[in-house]
Amino acid sequence: MINKNIAKEYIDTLGQFPNYQISIYDSYAKKIGSTSNTKNCFSQEELQNFLNSNESVLECKKDSLNCVLVKIYEDNITSCFIAIAGSDNNLLPIATALKMSLEIRLKYEQIQTEEKETLTINEQLIKELVSNSLQVSKIIELCEQSNHSMEIERKMIMLIPDDVSSLDVLANMNLYYDSKEDIVGRLGHQLIILKDMSRAIGSEKDYIKVYFDFLIKNTSFKGKALVAYTSKTYDNVKFAYQNLTWLKKYTTVHNIQETILFFSNYVDMYCISSIPYDILRNLFSSYTYNEEDAKEFITTTDALIRNNYNIVRSSKELFVHKNTLMYRLTKIKNEFDIDPINSESDRSFIKIYNYYLKHKIETKGDSNDERN
């Protein structure tokens, strides 16, 4: 719908018509923009009569000027009309060109408005889906309003931009890849994408990686993408959000630098973090705690875990000689009577004890635990 701002912007672009008086009138025959400050060629009664008539174009002569009135329609309703006056004998082609250009401008404005409204509906839908108190009727209503199906399997992707101020711009960009069933909306300091997985061929991870590459190449996004399990029903979306909220905190605390992280790769740490601390404290109470040794253990095992216990890669990450790393690993093997290089169960022990020490240091736990 036309308004004063759109009319002014449009009038300001008409510098190529300096020899004509061009005015725009709204659906009440009120002038909302003009290229000339001269007296109106038409009386208010004439303008009102044209507005209420069935004619879409009116050609006439006013004093020494030829004039044309032409209506602009939106959804078969008169949105506004243009008046052009000049000395040319044939103003109709110019009036027609002005009409077409203004219609294009109004159509663009309509599309922009609809996209913003859809975004708002998407954000409402996402908020409802991640709520702990799901209102099914509300979800159905929002799905209908946003033209999305409730029956499609979707994978939640949480985009965390390096610059939070870019979220508003990013939220209004076209993030669709191969399906209009993708649901995109801002939620807090991140952007949530519920990606339609019905078109995924082969590995879901590979498919998401291709989609992420598409986002990097075709949008302004810079930052991390956290990826949850696929939610096969709408009521599982809230659990995907809880998982990614935990993963977001985990990546921040542990300064993980990867740009795309799959929750499935961190399930073991998620489960470990769910164990009450009292249980862990009792479990490891027989081991001597020294903060300096604990920090060395954490640093060393973090590198080993990230590099799948590859000594060469781990030593490079730690900036130490591989013999130094082997010395540290030998200390760990002797202290705990384990062999994480060759034993999966011992690797599980390393992860759990690593988590326990981190929690103990972060919470400034008692540093006087002694071996029984």
3-state secondary structure of 73: strand
The CB-side HSE value for 59 (13 A sphere, CA atoms) comes to: 10
The secondary structure element, H or E, covering residue 215 is helix 204-218
Rounded CA separation 304/315 (Å): 9
- What's the CATH fold of domain 4-105? Beta-Lactamase (3.30.450)
- Any idea where the domains of the chain sit in the sequence? 4-105, 148-271, 275-362
Angstrom distances, CA of residue 103 to CA of 5, 24, 185, 333: 15, 12, 30, 76
Angstrom distances, CA of residue 189 to CA of 170, 245, 310: 12, 11, 37
Per-residue pLDDT of the chain (372 residues; tens, 9 = 90+): 788 888 888 888 886 777 888 999 998 899 998 887 767 788 889 999 999 898 999 999 888 889 999 999 887 888 899 999 988 888 999 999 899 888 888 887 776 666 655 568 888 899 999 998 888 999 999 999 889 999 999 999 999 999 888 887 777 677 878 898 999 988 888 999 999 999 898 899 999 999 999 999 988 889 999 999 999 999 999 999 999 999 999 898 778 889 999 999 999 999 999 999 999 999 999 998 899 999 999 999 999 998 999 999 999 999 999 999 999 999 999 999 999 999 999 999 999 999 999 888 887 644 444 333
CATH architecture of 148-271: 2-Layer Sandwich (3.30)
Rounded CA separation 2/252 (Å): 47
User: Exposure pattern of 188-213 as b/e (b: 16+ CB <10 Å)?
Assistant: eebbbbbbbbeebeeebeebbeebbe
- The answer to whether 25 touches 19, Cβ cutoff 8 Å, is no
3-state secondary structure of 21: strand
